[in-house]
């Protein structure tokens, strides 16, 4: 992968398909393979992040495709390298982005380019550095804007749901650009913070249940309600499964777990894609659905399914899959495969101590 990155130099600094994504992969390897033994990954993470931090574009404010991603990564990596001054500077610059995020109503609310993508950046720092690392008024303010915009759009459209979100004038439903990704991110927030909005959020989830296709899959948008082509994290069951599992965790209703199981069956039957091995619309991204199911249910079949998809990924390039524009990137290419394999290693080793991947 590193040789490939050197031979395909790009000006892309994003986490999605750029050098920040390789930085995130190395931070992930540092955490999953053992911090004491694998500090080299932490230094490699910083090397891949230095250029993105010097070339922030001040145009997008999300984790995957904007300035917020490199800043959140920088805060964590510098902290782990004991450079608290640089870590705090990254946090301040990230927090300052909440002004345009809240004031610019042309910004969408979806994950890749919108407000929940900014929220993810804040949660990323809190996960690694603690809840107190982010000013406690910022997330509530961004959340309020998201809900207000969703309610306003629902009222204007006289919608059956209390919240409506669009992207490029389409009612996308999936994890990358649509309602499912927005709801999933909101469900990551503290329940007390969500309390005033939980009725609206749950009503939207329950309405989404009715959109399921006969195959068990879900369409990419309301405008394509009968289309059953896509089985990706970005559009289709592999993205929906995570929302259903989180809804089951929060609300405790069996119907959400049942829907997640149906999504898992769709992925098993149709999830080996010709599009590639990455996280967004590839096999590694689909396999995460099995890993999430295993972590929720403890049922070994889900771990087995994740392992079988992993073996497919490990035969990288031998299945006639398409070569993406960024073949070594995190969300389109090989880096995404490595990211998933690292996450899969611990549950496999815990279940089968003699296992080697």
234 is in an annotated binding site: yes
Q: In the predicted model, is pLDDT for residue 354 greater than 60? A: no
The answer to whether the CB of 242 falls within 8 A of the CB of 175 is yes
Mean pLDDT, range 88-115, rounded to an integer: 97
| Helices 198-209 and 138-157: angle between axes, nearest 10 degrees | 50
280 is in an annotated binding site: yes
Per-residue pLDDT band at 275 (split at 50, 70, 90): confident
Q: List, in sequence order, every residue forming a beta bridge with 170; answer none if it has no partner.
A: 167
| Helices 283-297 and 237-251: angle between axes, nearest 10 degrees | 20
Q: What is the pLDDT of residue 346?
A: 86
128 CA to centre of own chain: 16
The answer to whether the CB of 49 falls within 8 A of the CB of 65 is no
- Look up residue 193 and give its two tokens: 């913070």
Per-residue pLDDT band at 317 (split at 50, 70, 90): confident
Q: What is the pLDDT of residue 150?
A: 98
102 is in an annotated binding site: no
Q: What is the pLDDT of residue 191?
A: 93
User: What is the DSSP secondary structure assignment for residue 322, as one 8-state letter?
Assistant: P
Q: In the predicted model, is pLDDT for residue 4 greater than 80? A: no
Question: How far apart, in whole angstroms, are the C-alpha atoms of residue 70 and residue 87?
Answer: 12
Rg of the chain in Å (alpha carbons): 20
User: What is the DSSP secondary structure assignment for residue 210, as one 8-state letter?
Assistant: T
Q: What is the pLDDT of residue 257?
A: 98
End-to-end, the C-alpha distance of the chain in Å comes to 18
pTM of the model: 0.95
Per-residue pLDDT band at 349 (split at 50, 70, 90): confident
> Each residue of 159-212: pLDDT tens digit?
999 999 999 999 999 999 999 999 999 999 999 999 999 999 999 999 999 999
Say whether 106 sits in a helix, a strand or coil. Answer: coil
Say whether 167 sits in a helix, a strand or coil. Answer: strand
Q: What is the pLDDT of residue 355?
A: 52
The answer to whether the CB of 175 falls within 8 A of the CB of 134 is no
> Each residue of 23-80: pLDDT tens digit?
999 999 999 987 666 789 999 999 999 999 999 988 899 999 999 999 999 999 999 9
Per-residue pLDDT band at 272 (split at 50, 70, 90): very high
Question: How far apart, in whole angstroms, are the C-alpha atoms of residue 278 and residue 330?
Answer: 7
| Helices 300-314 and 283-297: angle between axes, nearest 10 degrees | 160
Question: How far apart, in whole angstroms, are the C-alpha atoms of residue 339 and residue 24?
Answer: 9
125 CA to centre of own chain: 15
Mean pLDDT, range 240-249, rounded to an integer: 98
Give the up-direction half-sphere exposure of residue 268: CA atoms within 13 A in the CB hemisphere: 17
Per-residue pLDDT band at 318 (split at 50, 70, 90): confident
Mean pLDDT, range 241-270, rounded to an integer: 98
Q: What is the pLDDT of residue 351?
A: 74
> Each residue of 104-161: pLDDT tens digit?
999 999 999 999 999 999 999 999 999 999 999 999 999 999 999 999 999 999 999 9
Q: In the predicted model, is pLDDT for residue 352 greater than 80? A: no
Q: In the predicted model, is pLDDT for residue 356 greater than 90? A: no
Mean pLDDT, range 224-245, rounded to an integer: 96
> Each residue of 11-27: pLDDT tens digit?
889 999 999 999 999 99
């Amino acid at each position: 992968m590193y040789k490939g990155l050197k031979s395909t130099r790009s000006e892309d600094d994003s986490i999605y398909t750029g050098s920040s994504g390789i930085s995130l992969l190395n931070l992930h390897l540092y955490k999953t393979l053992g911090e004491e033994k694998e500090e080299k990954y932490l230094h490699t993470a910083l090397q891949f992040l230095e250029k993105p931090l010097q070339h922030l574009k001040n145009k997008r404010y999300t984790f995957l495709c904007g300035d917020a991603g490199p800043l959140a990564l920088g805060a964590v990596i510098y902290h782990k390298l004991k450079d608290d001054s640089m870590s705090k500077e990254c946090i301040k610059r990230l927090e300052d982005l909440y002004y345009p995020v809240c004031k610019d109503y042309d910004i969408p609310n979806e994950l890749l380019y919108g407000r929940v993508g900014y929220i993810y950046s804040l949660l990323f720092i809190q996960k690694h550095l603690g809840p107190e690392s982010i000013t406690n008024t910022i997330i509530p303010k961004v959340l309020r804007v998201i809900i207000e915009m969703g309610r306003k759009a629902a009222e204007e459209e006289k919608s059956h749901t209390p919240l409506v979100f669009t992207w490029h004038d389409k009612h996308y439903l999936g994890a990358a650009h649509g309602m499912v990704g927005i709801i999933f991110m909101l469900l990551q927030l503290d329940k007390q913070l969500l309390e005033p909005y939980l009725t609206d959020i749950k009503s939207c989830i329950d309405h989404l249940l009715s959109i399921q296709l006969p195959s068990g899959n879900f369409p990419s948008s309301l405008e394509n309600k009968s289309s059953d082509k896509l089985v990706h994290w970005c559009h289709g069951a592999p993205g929906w499964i995570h929302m259903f599992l989180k809804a089951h965790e929060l609300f405790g209703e069996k119907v959400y777990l049942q829907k997640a199981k149906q999504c898992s069956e769709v992925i098993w039957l149709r999830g080996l894609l010709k599009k590639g091995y990455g996280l967004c619309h590839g096999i590694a991204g689909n396999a995460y659905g099995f890993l999430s199911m295993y972590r929720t249910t403890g049922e070994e079949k889900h771990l087995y399914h994740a392992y079988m998809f992993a073996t497919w990924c490990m035969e990288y390039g031998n299945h006639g899959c398409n070569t993406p524009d960024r073949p070594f990137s995190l969300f389109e290419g090989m880096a995404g495969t490595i990211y998933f394999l690292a996450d899969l290693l611990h549950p496999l080793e815990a279940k089968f101590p003699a296992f080697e991947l």
